[in-house]
Each structure stands twice: as C-alpha cells, then as structure tokens.
Amino acid sequence: MTNTHRSGPDRRTILRGAALASGAAVLGGAFAAGGAASASAGVAEPPLHTRADWGARSPAGRIQILSTPPSYIVVHHTATANSTDYSLGHAYALSRAIQNYHMDSNGWLDTGQQLTISRGGHIMEGRDRSFAAIRGGSHAVGAHVANNNSTCVGIENEGLYMDVGPTKALTDALVATLAWLCGAYRLDPHRAILGHRDFNATACPGDVLYAQLPGLRDAVAEAMLAPVLELAARRAPAGDGPTYPAVPEDEPDRVFHHGPARGPDDFTR
C-alpha cells in the first residue's frame, strides 16, 4: 500500500516531466531553424526589394514598432491598372507612386502597407522598418485596414481584381510572401490570412482575388510544410478579429483607393 502510494506520485512526476520536455521540444522546434533564420521558423525568405532599391522617400515621422506580432495578414489590391509591364522598373515606380499618394494625398507618415507585390511578382518593402520588424518578429504599424492596424500586417497587390485574377507571377510571389509571414509570426495560414473586406466596408481585394483566398491559404500551408513547423506552436489570433461588413455598392472608384485604411482606433498614420 505504502509502496503503491509512493509509486503514484513518482510516476506522475515522470509523466509530467516527459510532457514538459515534449512541449519544450515542440516550441524549440519552431525556433530551431538555425540562427537568425530561426525567426522565420524554417520558411525561406522570398527575394525582396528594399526601400533603397525603389528609391523611397524618408518617412515624415518615426514608424511605430510594436513588440507584439500581428495576428492577421491582410490581402489588398492597389486599385491601379492591371498593367502588362512586369519589369522591375515598373514595380519600383509603382512603389514610389503609392508612397507619394499616401504621404501627399492622405497625409500619412509613409506608405501605408508593409509590403507591395507587382504584377511581375516583385516583392517590395512598403512602410519603413517593415522588413526588420518581420525578421525580428515585431510589427511596424501601418495604415491599410481601418481600426485594425495594430494587429494586421498588409500586402498591397498591384491591380484591380473585381473581374479578373492576378498574374501567375504575382500569385506565386504572394504565396511565398504569405508563407514567409506566417513562419516569421508563427501564424496558422487558415486563420490568419484575410482580405481587407473582412475588416472594413470595401470591395478590396476584389471579388476574384477574395474568392481565391481559400486556395491561397491551402497553397501557403503546403509551402510551409516542414518538420519544424508544429501546429501546436502556432499562435491563435489575438486582439480584435474581423467584422465582415457588407461590401458597399457605391465604393468610390479612384486609383489607389481600396477602402478604409485608418480609423479612430488607429493611433498612428
């Protein structure tokens, strides 16, 4: 009796220790991709173009960095023409045009979104400090999804996707970018990847691209398949979730305009 009683706690202690060791191994695995690359949890960083590459202006004020990583990745379209110029030069010009519009017409500190992808599939840094923040697991607060900028990182995809879908080059770059972000922020692609219209009253990212999101989530999950990525180590979304408002029928048709980007809950511009 005494022996049985004594063996109980011993056995439970052993099991508890094993469970802790197992849990630690899972967490360790998520970060164990090696050195600085560990922040992206084993998902390769796609080819990226910096702000220096496209000739960005300095921001009008210091960009806020939150140590809390974003919970959602928001897919946008730029509401610009579906250009057939797939060159790097065109991509850089697009980034400059967006920045000029956001700073000079909207009065923001800088480009609103953290990342921009051209129809040629070129991936560019948007708001200042975005790449460093992603690599460090933190969040450069942008202006792209009203009232949710503290918890959302945004990708603007060149074009207007109400009636047609993006190019294959853009789609492939978008999947690679989403996988990189989900890895860096330890997000579950099936829960974290949303469209602008899920949060604000807007048609963005267009009916066609929005309808492609389920397939994109699957493609991202596939791209992330690696032994170091344990589902148990992924973060559940935190903070305000989407509100799924109705798409307005009378949305203004203006180049660069793709719905509400700032609201009273946003503390920066």
Question: Is residue 105 within 8 Å of residue 264, measured between CB atoms?
Answer: no
| Cα dihedral: 44, 112, 71, 47 (round 10) | 0
CB of 196 to Zn ion, least distance (A): 3
- Please identify, using beta-carbon distances, which residue of 79 and 133 lies nearer to Zn ion: 79
Size of the site for Zn ion (CB under 5 A): 5
Q: What is the strand order of the sheet 115-117 is part of?
A: 123-125, 115-117, 152-157, 72-77, 193-195
Site for Zn ion in 195-214 (CB under 5 A): 196, 204
Question: Is residue 76 within 8 Å of residue 205, measured between CB atoms?
Answer: yes
Does 224 interact with Zn ion (rule: CB under 5 A)?
no
CB of 59 to Zn ion, least distance (A): 20
Question: Is residue 125 within 8 Å of residue 173, measured between CB atoms?
Answer: no
- Please identify, using beta-carbon distances, which residue of 186 and 258 lies nearer to Zn ion: 258
CB of 37 to Zn ion, least distance (A): 31
Does 76 interact with Zn ion (rule: CB under 5 A)?
yes
Which phi and psi angles does 193 have, rounded to 5°?
A: -90, 115
CB of 74 to Zn ion, least distance (A): 7
Identity of the amino acid at 63: I
Question: Is residue 29 within 8 Å of residue 233, measured between CB atoms?
Answer: yes
Residue given tokens 């094993």 in the structure block: 18
- Please identify, using beta-carbon distances, which residue of 184 and 204 lies nearer to Zn ion: 204
- Please identify, using beta-carbon distances, which residue of 230 and 251 lies nearer to Zn ion: 251
CB of 115 to Zn ion, least distance (A): 13
Does 262 interact with Zn ion (rule: CB under 5 A)?
no
Interaction site with Zn ion (CB under 5 A): 76, 196, 204, 258-259
